């Protein structure tokens, strides 16, 4: 087993084994980081090209019915001012992000049942009609008929992370959730033909390198269209406040690289949490080491302070326009270009 062989497998889109993925993680821990980064960049270029797609994220409600042990907006956190952005203001933010060259809107919230099947449905319809943006929804676990209805209203994609493929750990840190049900949600979305994104956190308590290897392989097994991962950052307002680890940016961006080698055809975003580990550099590094998507924060500025799933989240003082400009600079600085199309899954739809 060596990195060159595994890269050649990836270039043929052959599935790596969990043992091979684990081997790569150990190489990353030891010495051969640069070779892994280079391999991932080559595989990214071959399958996904040089364009970086922008998905503007609007965090439209921080109400949540659940109490995940790591999350700063979980229902038990009292120090958070709860907000919901109304439909007209969401629409305004969608028009703005479109003007700023972002071709997808990601609507994310806590699990907020105020946004019923019908209310979300009419929001989706209105956004599609007025902007024709690609629409990604990320509002947690719902029934199949709800997902199906939203698809009929114009939803293109859905994001729902499995967080960890270790069932015991999953259930320990999700007091309201059942592992099988979470996985069912992901499989349902795939089955009904919604482009599906999922992923996990790196460095959750009670996990080790074998867990990371299995998480990466599980993304492949699920045949995901998009894969979002990021470091777990301990939040002082939550039960896991004392369970944080100090992250090494070269390790966590290397996990992006291995994720790419194991999933050549998935869209992989450089997620916001990478910037927590290396301020204003983390996301570029992820893009240079296997990622191909950037999700600028397009939430109106005044709400941002109240949507901090983890501490030190970047861009809280910035406006949507600030982030839009900043992102362009960051992408051009690494010699890549911005995708003008919707950047749909290359597995399901031609761009
Ligand atoms: N650290 C890192 N990521 C977190 N998320 C939630 N809380 C944290 C945290 N403390 C991630 C979860 C969730 C996504 C929206 O944000 O993976 O799915
Ligand atoms: Fe928000 Fe740079 S991406 S300020």
Q: Does the Cβ of 71 fall within 6 Å of ligand 1?
A: yes
Q: Which residues pair with 61 in a beta bridge?
A: 84, 109
List phi, psi (to 5°) of 12. Answer: -95, 10
Atom of ligand 1 nearest to the CA of 160: 18
Residue 310 per-residue DSSP state = S
> Residue 202 belongs to what H/E stretch?
strand 201-202
Would residue 325 be called left, alpha or beta, if left means φ above 0 and alpha means ψ between -120 and 50 degrees?
alpha
Q: How far is the CA of 232 from the centre of ligand 1 (A)?
A: 7
Ligand whose nearest atom lies closest to the CA of 299: 2
Give nearest CA residue, ligand 1 atom 7.
71
Atom of ligand 2 nearest to the CA of 314: 1
Q: Which residues contact 166 (CB under 8 A, 6 or more apart)?
A: 206, 207, 211, 214
Q: Which long-range contacts (CB under 8 A, 24 or more apart) does 245-252 make?
A: 245/203, 247/202, 247/203, 247/277, 248/277, 249/274, 249/277, 249/278, 249/281, 249/282, 249/285, 250/28, 250/33, 251/28, 251/29, 252/202, 252/203, 252/277
| Cα–Cα distance for residue pair 260/47, rounded to 1 Å | 10
Ligand whose nearest atom lies closest to the CA of 274: 1
List phi, psi (to 5°) of 208. Answer: -135, -170
For residue 129, what are its two tokens? 């009609």
pLDDT tens string for the chain (351 positions)?
Answer: 899 999 999 999 999 999 999 999 999 998 889 999 999 999 999 999 999 999 999 999 999 999 999 999 999 999 999 999 999 999 999 999 999 999 999 999 999 999 999 999 999 999 999 999 999 999 999 999 999 999 999 999 999 999 999 999 999 999 999 999 999 999 999 999 999 999 999 999 999 999 999 999 999 999 999 999 999 999 999 999 999 999 999 999 999 999 999 999 999 999 999 999 999 999 999 999 999 999 999 999 999 999 999 999 999 999 999 999 999 999 999 999 999 999 999 997 544
Q: How far is the CA of 276 from the centre of ligand 2 (A)?
A: 12
CA 92 to the chain's CA centroid: 24
Q: Does the Cβ of 230 fall within 6 Å of ligand 1?
A: yes
Of the candidates 139, 7, 149, 42, which has an alpha carbon nearest to the alpha carbon of residue 84?
Answer: 139
Angle, CA of 211, 215 and 219, to the nearest 5°: 170
Domains contained in the chain, CATH given: 3-338 (3.20.20.70)
60 in Cβ contact with 243 (< 8 Å): no
Of the candidates 208, 330, 213, which has an alpha carbon nearest to the alpha carbon of residue 272?
Answer: 330
Q: Does the Cβ of 57 fall within 6 Å of ligand 2?
A: no
Atom of ligand 2 nearest to the CA of 323: 1
């Amino acid at each position: 087993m060596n990195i060159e062989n595994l890269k050649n497998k990836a270039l043929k889109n052959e599935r790596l084994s969990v043992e091979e993925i684990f081997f790569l993680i150990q190489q990353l821990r030891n010495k051969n980081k640069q070779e892994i980064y280079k391999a991932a960049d080559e595989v990214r270029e071959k399958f996904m090209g040089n364009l970086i797609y922008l998905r503007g994220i609007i965090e439209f409600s921080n109400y949540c019915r659940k109490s995940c042990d790591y999350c700063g907006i979980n229902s038990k956190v009292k120090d958070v001012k709860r907000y919901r952005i109304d439909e007209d203001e969401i629409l305004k933010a969608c028009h703005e992000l479109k003007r700023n060259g972002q071709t997808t809107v990601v609507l994310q919230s806590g699990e907020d049942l105020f946004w019923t099947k019908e209310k979300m449905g009419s929001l989706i319809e209105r956004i599609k009609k007025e902007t024709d943006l690609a629409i990604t929804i990320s509002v947690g676990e719902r029934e199949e008929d709800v997902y199906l209805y939203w698809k009929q209203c114009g939803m293109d994609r859905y994001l729902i992370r499995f967080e960890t493929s270790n069932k015991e750990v999953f259930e320990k840190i999700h007091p309201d959730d059942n592992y099988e049900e979470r996985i069912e949600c992901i499989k349902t979305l795939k089955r009904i033909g919604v482009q599906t994104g999922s992923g996990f956190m790196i460095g959750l308590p009670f996990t080790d390198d074998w867990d990371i290897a299995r998480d990466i392989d599980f993304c492949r097994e699920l045949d995901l269209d998009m894969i979002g991962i990021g470091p777990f950052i301990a939040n002082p307002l939550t039960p896991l406040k004392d369970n944080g680890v100090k992250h090494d940016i070269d390790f966590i961006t290397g996990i992006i690289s291995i994720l790419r080698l194991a999933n050549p055809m998935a869209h992989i975003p450089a997620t916001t949490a990478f910037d927590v580990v290396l301020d204003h550099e983390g996301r570029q590094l992820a893009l240079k080491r296997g990622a191909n998507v950037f999700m600028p924060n397009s939430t109106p500025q005044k709400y941002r302070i109240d949507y901090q799933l983890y501490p030190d989240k970047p861009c809280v003082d910035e406006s949507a326009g600030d982030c839009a400009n900043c992102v362009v600079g960051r992408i051009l600085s690494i010699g890549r270009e911005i995708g003008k199309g919707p950047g749909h899954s290359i597995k399901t739809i031609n761009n």
